[in-house]
Structure 1
Amino acid sequence: MDMQAFAVAMAEALDGTWTVEPGHHGHRDRYLIGPDGEELHVWYSDWEKTPRLRLSASLPARLATIRHRHGNPVPSHEITVSPAKTPETVAAETARLLLPGYRATLAETRELKQRLDDQAAVRDRLAHAIADPLGATVHTPGPSPLGHDPQEAIVRYQGPLAGTATVPRKSGHVAFAFSVAPGEAARVAAFLATFPRTPDWDQDH
């Protein structure tokens, strides 16, 4: 089966804006890339009793990682068809059976990414607002294992007052931890006493 010719004809039948890229199995597969970043894998499988064409749509790696980190498994978007069908028929079935659900997942994941980016931007602005008057350094979260979302920015400061401020990604309290020289302790305590007690503090104490 000429997968290159089949994929090119499929791409044209979808709406003419899709492109074809090489797959990972030589002549057996191709990727179709859609106008909105869709990724469709077309794979000819002939080791079963009846050869089949497998079509599966996947999220770009960056978006898939975000879903995994936030406990949102990526739904499966896959269909199989007979390789005897024409590219035009397969394209029509793909557009009807596979793409609507896949595009909903893609849009949902992009919205999640935007929400996380917005939260991180607010966090980082606050972290820098804390760091600037202290001449401190902001350490933003780096890459993390799947299943773990790095949420906190850490402000590290030195001097007479040395410690950290932990700024969460989601709105919440900023946690300060610091140490001072004995001669400065009373002055720092007097400064902290100028802040009003919050209802949360009263409930906890």
Structure 2
Amino acid sequence: MAEKSVLQVEFTVRGRQAHASMPDAGVNTHRVAGHLVVRLDQLLHEKFGLSDPLFDPPASTFEPTRHDANVSNVNTIPGIDRLWFDCRVLPSVDLDEVKAAIDSVARAVAGDFGATIDVNYTNENPAAPPTAADAPVVLAVAEAVRQVRGVEPKIVGIGGGTVAAEFRRRGIPAVAWSTCDAVAHQPNEYSVIDNMVSDALVLAHLFVRDQ
């Protein structure tokens, strides 16, 4: 019934490559990137630490994720590092404020080390308006789950994106429902066929309930 806003950020740190035995001759972008990650992690969680019990997890998340390879040998100080953050932000938080905080930290870290840090917002997707918990579609899906699966559905918002958001952006109340194990993007991620069949039965029950 609701999703968080998505903000994905690419950081390109540029310094000066040198031999590892002569660190003063270079600007170690691996070290700069490490400080950038720690300071972003601390500031973003402190500044945007609001909680909303509708969502699971209830707070905004700011995660360092991908890091590209820099140098291939162990005795070289890298002169360029590229890394990403994936941010899932509560709808009540203005993404422009998050971006301003990120830009401020990047400038400060770059200045501290004599490096440059380019910030590129590769994906900025503000949250769609939520579907009300008492909307007819929510009540209908919840009742179908109870009747077909014999369980009490949990009505929540999530950090991941769903196709329901595209309907809600067009003013159409929508929800998403699925049965899954909590293994998204983990090694050996899988989907249980019985769950997919059961979810299809929920949808079938929903479509024919008035016939």
TM-score where L is the length of structure 2: 0.28
Structure that is richer in helix per residue? 1
Q: Comparing both chains, which one has the higher relative contact order based on Cα–Cα distances under 8 Å and sequence gaps of 6 or more? A: 2
Structure number, greater radius of gyration? 1
TM-score (structure 1 length as normaliser): 0.28
